[in-house]
C-alpha cells in the first residue's frame, strides 16, 4: 500500500509540473516573445483573416503566383502526402497532367523545364513556399495579366527577388518564396 501511495503522489506531482506548469510557462513565453507566430501567423486584410503564412492555399487567378500543388486540396485537417511511390502510375499521371497544364497556362514550349516543386506536392500538402525558380517562371504571365509596362515589370521582378527567403541560419533548407506574402504585396502595390 505504501508503494501505491508513493506512486500516486509522484503521478500527481509530475502531472501538475509537466502537464500544467510547463505548458502554461511555454504558452506564456510564446505569447510574450512571439505573439504573431504563437497565434498561427495569421495574415489579415481589413480585419479579416485571409490565410496563414504557415499554410499553403490555392491561388487560381492568373494574375497571382501559383502555390505548390497539394494532394489534399490545401485542407489542413487531413494533412499529408499522396504516398505514391516513385514507380506509381498515378503519380506519373498526376505529374504529367500538372506539367501539361502548367505549360499551357504559362505559354511554355513542350520541352521547357518546370521546377519540380510546381509538379510534385509536398509531404504535408500544405507547403506555403515555392522555389525562387518557380516564382521567376511566373513573372511574365502575371506581368502580362496585370498589364505592366516594361519598366513596371523590372520593378516587379525586383520585388520577387527581394521576397526570396534564405535558408534558416544560412544552411537549413533551401531559398524559398512565401506565395501568400508575395501575392499580398501584389495587391497592396498600386504602382511599381
| Interval 10-68: pLDDT, tens | 999 999 999 999 999 999 999 999 999 999 999 988 889 999 999 999 998 999 999 99
Q: Which distant-in-sequence residues (6+ apart) come within 8 Å of 142 by Cβ? A: 62, 63, 64, 65, 156, 186
User: ∠ CA(163), CA(166), CA(170), 5° rounding?
Assistant: 160
Q: What is the pTM of this model?
A: 0.81
**pLDDT class for 192, splitting at 50, 70, 90?**
low
pLDDT score of 28: 96
Question: Considering the chain, what is the average pLDDT of its residues?
Answer: 92
Label residue 174 by pLDDT band (50, 70, 90): very high
- Are the C-beta atoms of 67 and 56 separated by less than 8 Å? yes
Would you place residue 79 in the very low, low, confident or very high pLDDT band (cuts 50, 70, 90)?
confident
Strand runs (DSSP E) across the chain, as ranges?
42-45, 48-52, 129-130, 164-165, 176-178
Q: What per-residue confidence (pLDDT) applies to 191?
A: 56
Q: What is the pLDDT of residue 76?
A: 85
The pLDDT of residue 46: 86
**Which grid cell sits at 4?**
501505491
Query: Rounded to the nearest 5°, which phi and psi values hold at 31?
Result: -65, -35
Beta bridge partners of 43: 51
Mean pLDDT computed over 99-127: 91
| Mean pLDDT, residues 116-132 | 92
Amino acid at each position: 500500500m505504501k508503494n501505491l501511495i508513493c506512486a500516486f503522489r509522484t503521478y500527481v506531482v509530475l502531472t501538475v509540473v509537466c502537464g500544467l506548469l510547463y505548458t502554461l510557462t511555454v504558452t506564456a513565453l510564446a505569447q510574450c516573445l512571439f505573439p504573431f507566430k504563437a497565434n498561427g501567423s495569421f495574415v489579415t486584410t481589413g480585419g479579416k483573416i485571409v490565410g496563414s503564412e504557415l499554410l499553403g492555399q490555392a491561388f487560381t487567378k492568373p494574375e497571382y503566383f501559383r502555390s505548390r500543388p497539394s494532394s489534399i486540396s490545401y485542407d489542413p485537417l487531413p494533412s499529408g502526402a499522396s504516398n505514391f511511390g516513385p514507380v506509381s502510375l498515378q503519380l506519373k499521371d498526376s505529374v504529367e497532367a500538372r506539367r501539361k497544364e502548367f505549360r499551357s497556362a504559362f505559354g511554355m514550349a513542350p520541352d521547357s523545364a518546370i521546377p519540380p516543386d510546381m509538379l510534385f506536392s509536398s509531404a504535408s500538402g500544405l507547403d506555403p513556399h515555392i522555389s525562387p525558380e518557380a516564382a521567376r517562371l511566373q513573372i511574365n504571365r502575371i506581368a502580362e495579366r496585370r498589364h505592366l509596362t516594361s519598366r513596371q515589370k523590372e520593378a516587379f521582378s525586383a520585388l520577387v527577388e527581394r521576397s526570396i527567403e534564405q535558408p534558416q541560419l544560412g544552411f537549413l533548407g533551401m531559398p524559398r518564396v512565401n506565395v501568400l506574402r508575395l501575392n499580398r504585396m501584389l495587391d497592396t502595390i498600386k504602382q511599381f
